[in-house]
A and B are shown apart, each in its own frame.
Chain A
Amino acid sequence: MSKPAERLVISSTDGVELALQEIGLSTEVVREIAIAAASARNDALPVDPSSAAGLLSYIHGVRTVRLSLLPLGGWKVSREKNVESTIHHERGIQVCFQNVYQACGPNDPEAISNKGPAARELVNSGQIGLFDDASSATRDAIGRAPVVWLVCVSVYEGMVQAEVSCPKAFDGGQFDGFSKRIFVMSEQLSNVSRKDNDGDDIVFDVPVTRK
């Protein structure tokens, strides 16, 4: 587990909304991404490859990021060096989806799958300013590499947590610190598989509040 590094953590409702707006996101969009990724795990069958739940979650996470951002204008799909992201050149922002062990926790989020050299380069080029190493496809007209933001989602026993965080660099296959972490959601989701009975049932909550 990564140790907490020096970074800014934003968790107040107003602060989160404002910080997300700066990178072209919103609480609603991130929540939608997290729910889609978490719910997709339920599509995995026992006969599927053992990585199916995580893979389905990743596919739906990436898909929902793009389906949410592309209609907003300015966002484009990027697959540079097989790193799936959604990029906004004018804003200089690149958004990736990432399944993590725990989002919104005291420790920095840790990717469930180790990151390869292309992802490391992507982060390093945007965050540390290694402009010479950044690939041309992700650079803007004047050669700046976009800042990479990760929509980090974790699911554990029905608790879905999501944060949008800006990694500083890599240490091997994992992130090595974050400059900013925006804690977006931490909810006991109704429609996410929980360890009830055989660990395979879907339990729903019914939200009722006073007017």
Chain B
Amino acid sequence: MFNRGRLIIARQRRQLSKKELAEKAKVSQVTLTRIETGLTEDPEEATISALASALNYPVEFFYLDDCEVLQTESASFRSLSSLTAKQRDAALAAASLAFEFSDWVSNRFNLPPSDIVDLRHEDPRAAAGALRRCWGLGSKPVLNLINVLEAKGVRVFSLSERNKNVDAFSCWRGKTPFIFLNTFKSAERSRFDAAHEIGHLVMHRHGVAGDRNLEKEADQFAAAFLVPPEDLICHLPSVGSVSQLVSGKKRWGVSVAALARNLFEAGLVSDWHYRELCKRISALGYRTKEPAPMAREGSMLWRKVFEFLWKDRVGKEAVAKSLCWPTDEIVALVGGLYGDTNQSAVRAERPSLKVI
């Protein structure tokens, strides 16, 4: 039976309007609207084939069970106002696919269970400290935040949206927390986004999406989680110049601008000095191009999963086929976090040669 919900998901993933898809598939817009609204329950095979081809999705995808759809209010978008409807829907549709992929993996592998505590009544900075203690982090820097999240049961996916409007978002699916990160941004920014989303997961499980106060709280949480004030005082008690920030930021893996803000919040620079640092950071172009950029964090969980699969000669194409997805959707969800999927897939698909 044709599943119209899946057609909508696929169209949203490709960021196409109905009009654009109809033109691309060479079907009438009325026909497409009737299919999507359910007025045409059983579309002709040729129509489905044309739509599938235009979307670059396998036809089988449209005959599977319903996709779990994430509602806008269930996801914590950081800057909902700057998002276009297309960008928002594409991100939400990515979550639907991520849930399917997560189920596929969970059926085959034992993954870490969630260890996200409920800190909804805590002040953001106190919550950051409490979570650090709970996870045994103390006040030490975290080398790879994605690995920490994965070890604590968060499923981390990438949003390869090729735009900066979608920062990141998080959501709960039953007892499993999910975080989606925009890998189009700098590694430092992506790390801050991840910490920001942890803040939402621990403090705002039942919060209202897009609430400015909640966003501010999540920012405060992220700053304190990545740069514990006591560690900052120990290692960077005084700062005179931006160059000191550039060398100092490596310890905590944050942007120069974020570190300056942390110094101000910790009372290590005056209001005047902070504003001067901000002006200098802007003048040097560090807000758009991070100096001394850190390496992008990778996923250990997806790497391990694909390494196990590769031992069975299963590459990403085979996984995509099993899910009835186009391969690029696997790449979009985990490719930004696990750079070797292309390589392993190529290895998996290449026939082995024998020397006779």
Contact = CB atoms under 8 A, between A and B. Distances in A.
Contacts of A141: none
Contact of B141 (A39, A45, A202, A209): A202
A193 to B, nearest CB: 6
A210 B108 contact: yes
Interface in A191-205: 191-193, 196-198, 200-205
A190 interface: yes
B151 interface: yes
Interface in B152-168: none
A188 to B, nearest CB: 13
A200 B252 CA distance: 11
Nearest to A44: B138
A191 B148 CA distance: 8
Contact of B144 (A36, A41, A203): A203
B97 to A, nearest CB: 21
Interface stretch (B2-10, B37-45, B109-117): B109-117
Nearest to B133: A43
B43 to A, nearest CB: 38
Nearest to B305: A208
Interface stretch (B210-218, B228-236, B258-266): B228-236
Interface in B93-142: 107-112, 133, 135-142
Interface of A is mostly: loop
Contact of B112 (A46, A196, A206): A206
A206 to B, nearest CB: 4
A131 to B, nearest CB: 42
Contact of B138 (A35, A43, A190, A209): A43
Contacts, number: 91
A41 B300 CA distance: 25
Contact of A209 (B110, B139, B234): B110
Interface residues of A, number: 31
A204 B138 contact: no
Nearest to B106: A211
Contact of A45 (B142, B231, B301): B231
B110 A35 contact: no
A142 interface: no
B177 to A, nearest CB: 15
B147 A206 contact: yes
> Which of B133, B140, B141, B304 is packed against the most chain A CB atoms within 10 Å?
B140
Contacts of B235: 46
B167 to A, nearest CB: 24
Interface string B306-333: 0010000000000000000000000000
Interface of A: 35-36, 38-47, 190-193, 196-198, 200-211
Q: Which 7 pairs between the two chains have the least Cβ-Cβ distance?
A: A42-B138, A39-B136, A43-B138, A201-B143, A208-B304, A206-B300, A191-B136
22 contacts: A40-B136, A42-B137, A42-B138, A43-B139, A45-B139, A45-B231, A191-B135, A198-B251, A200-B140, A202-B140, A203-B147, A204-B144, A204-B150, A205-B300, A206-B301, A206-B304, A207-B112, A207-B151, A208-B110, A208-B308, A209-B110, A210-B108
Given A201-B140, A207-B110, A208-B111, 18 more contacts: A39-B136, A41-B138, A44-B138, A46-B235, A190-B151, A191-B136, A200-B141, A201-B141, A201-B142, A202-B140, A202-B141, A202-B142, A206-B304, A207-B151, A208-B304, A208-B308, A209-B109, A211-B109
